[in-house]
Amino acid sequence: MAGLFSFVMDFIRIALRGDKLYYGWMATLTGLILVGIACYIQQFDQGLIVTGMSDQVSWGTYIANFVFLVGAAAAAVMLVIPSYIFHDDDFKHVVLLAEGLAVAACVMCMLFVTVDLGRPDRFWHIIPLIGQFNFPISMLAWDVVVIAGYLLLNLTIPFYILFTRYKGGDPDMRIYFPGVMLSILWAISIHTVTAFLLSSNVARPFWHTAILGPRFLASAFCAGPAFFLLTLQVIKKYTTFPIKITIFRRLSIIVTAALQINLFLLLAEVFTEFYHQTQHAASAAYLFFGLGGKSALVPWIWTAIAMNVVAVIIMTIHPLRERIGFLSFACVLMVVGVWIEKGMGLIVPGFIPTPLGEIFEYTPTWIEIGISIGIWAIGLLIYTVLAKAAIGVEQGAIRMKTN
């Protein structure tokens, strides 16, 4: 491990160096993180009473963001497969950035779950061996395992590749290939497990459906790469890192197919719920049309559907998709659309009505929103630093000094 220290130091050095725009961006993120911390201190002190959650709707913004970000983390696999399995050089060029995004998303996932805990001081109770880990019965225990494991995989593989390049060598495929294979399976598993976390609940008919897992994967593989595509645009614009147009083209094909499948699965779900409406369709009725005079989520879900429909039209029409402006617009629509549909549009209506038929609505408080923004800022900060350093190594800006 010769050179590890200088690698870390160079890594930190390049993360701290930049132009005015870079400092401005990092300062903004830091400011938002501080706002998040201030909000969290208040929540820690007074309890989760400062959130909009209740006994009726006992999960809200935090878990909604968690579910969305698990998808974003899993999406890295869509670049890992072509890069490492099919040795596509264009994809290989950016795959480390995708893995960096996966790391950032995993960290955000863990933070969102942690801020949702009533007793974060007892966090050690959930750590295997030290605490009491209800494995394999509890789906939440599974989620802890798969997300921690996925984070580890996405840290170690890029680390090995970057560190080898830093030392001026070529990464040995025999070393990293088993890890890559594992991370592909693992990416599928993190989102499947998170879907099972919800679909295993007999108490919540809205989630208790076999289609939830497939829907999760489909939406992840459109929103995740779409988000990544947007970050590539930013990197292309503000750095000298060359990103070929073919990357955008190929990624947009993946995104288009996933989005089409996602909309089809949504249609299948809606048809089954409403053709002959049973009491189990009450949550869906609340989400799409309102129930008992309560309809807080109705404008949100229709906005999300409209966004996804416009996006799928743009993405399906080849000449439109080819134009970068349209492509970026469609990506924004998809990311926001899926974030609403899979976050608030999936978690919150699962609780409305309650198992005893009470219709009680949920609105996040400013503290909840502040904490959520803080966590997003942490994620973006991590991604920025990792991407900047990875680009530095790839372009040869940092190399180990050889005497």
Partner 1 sequence: MDTEKTMGQADMTSAKKSSTGITRRSLLKKMGIAGATAVATTAAGTVAANVSGENATEFGDAVGEFFQDHYQKMSKQEIEEALARLERQYKRKYGVEVKVDNTPPQPNVLYGYALNISKCKGYRKCVDACVTENNQSRDPQVQFIRVLEMNKGSMNLEESDHYYNPELVPQEGKFYLPVQCMQCENPPCVNACPTKATWKEPDGIVAIDYNWCIGCRYCMTACPYWARHFNWSEPEIPQEEINPVTHYLGNRPRPKGVVEKCYFCVQRTRKDQQPACQEACPTGARVFGNLLDPKSEIRYILENKTVFRLKEDLGTEPKFWYFTD
Nearest CB to partner 1, comparing residues 123 and 238: 123
Member of 3, 35, 54, 160 binding partner 1 (CB under 8 A) = 54
Q: Which of 139, 298, 373, 397 binds partner 1 (CB under 8 A)?
A: 139
Structural contact between residues 361 and 294, judged by C-beta atoms closer than 8 angstroms: yes
Q: Which stretch binds partner 1 (CB under 8 A): 95-103, 156-164, 257-265, 355-363?
A: 355-363
358 is an interface residue for partner 1 by CB under 8 A: yes
* Complex with partner 1: residue 299 or 357, whichever CB lies closer: 357
Cis, peptide link before residue 136, omega less than 30° from 0: yes
- Extract the tokens encoding 43: 């929540």
Segment interacting with partner 1 (CB under 8 A) among 182-190, 197-205, 226-234, 311-319? 197-205
Taking CB under 8 A as the binding criterion, the range among 80-88, 116-124, 169-177, 394-402 that sits at the site for partner 1 is 116-124
Pick the stretch among 29-37, 300-308, 309-317, 352-360 that binds partner 1 (CB under 8 A).
352-360
Residues numbered 70 to 99 that lie near partner 1 (CB under 8 A) are: none
Residue number, 322 or 358, with CB nearest to partner 1: 358
Among left, alpha and beta (phi > 0; psi -120 to 50; other), residue 47 is: left
CB 230 within 8 A of CB 332: yes
344 binds partner 1 (CB under 8 A): no
43: region left, alpha or beta (phi > 0 left; psi from -120 to 50 alpha):
alpha
Cβ partners under 8 Å of residue 109, min gap 6: 66, 69, 70, 73, 147
Q: Stretches 139-147, 224-232, 240-248, 254-262: which one binds partner 1 (CB under 8 A)? A: 139-147
CB of 342 to partner 1, least distance (A): 17
CA pair distance 20, 384, nearest whole angstrom: 15
Tell me if residue 291 falls in helix, strand or coil: strand
Q: Does residue 356 touch partner 1 according to CB under 8 A?
A: yes
**Residue 323 contacts partner 1 per CB under 8 A:** no
Distances in Å between the Cα of 391 and the Cα atoms of 153, 162, 288 are 20, 10, 44
> Is residue 59 within the footprint of partner 1 (CB under 8 A)?
yes
Rounded CA gap, 7 and 23, in Å?
22
Residue 377 amino acid letter: A
Nearest of 401, 358, 381, 354 to residue 28 by alpha carbon = 381
Amino acid at the residue 225:
P
Tell me which of 181, 355, 395, 396 binds partner 1, using CB under 8 A. Answer: 355
**Is 123 one of the binding residues for partner 1 (CB under 8 A)?**
yes
Q: Is 313 in the site for partner 1 (CB under 8 A)?
A: no
State the Cα–Cα distance between residues 302 and 349, nearest whole angstrom. 14
| Residues lying near partner 1 in the complex (CB under 8 A) | 46-49, 53-55, 58-59, 113, 116-123, 125-126, 130-134, 137-141, 144, 197, 201-204, 279, 282, 292, 350-351, 353-359
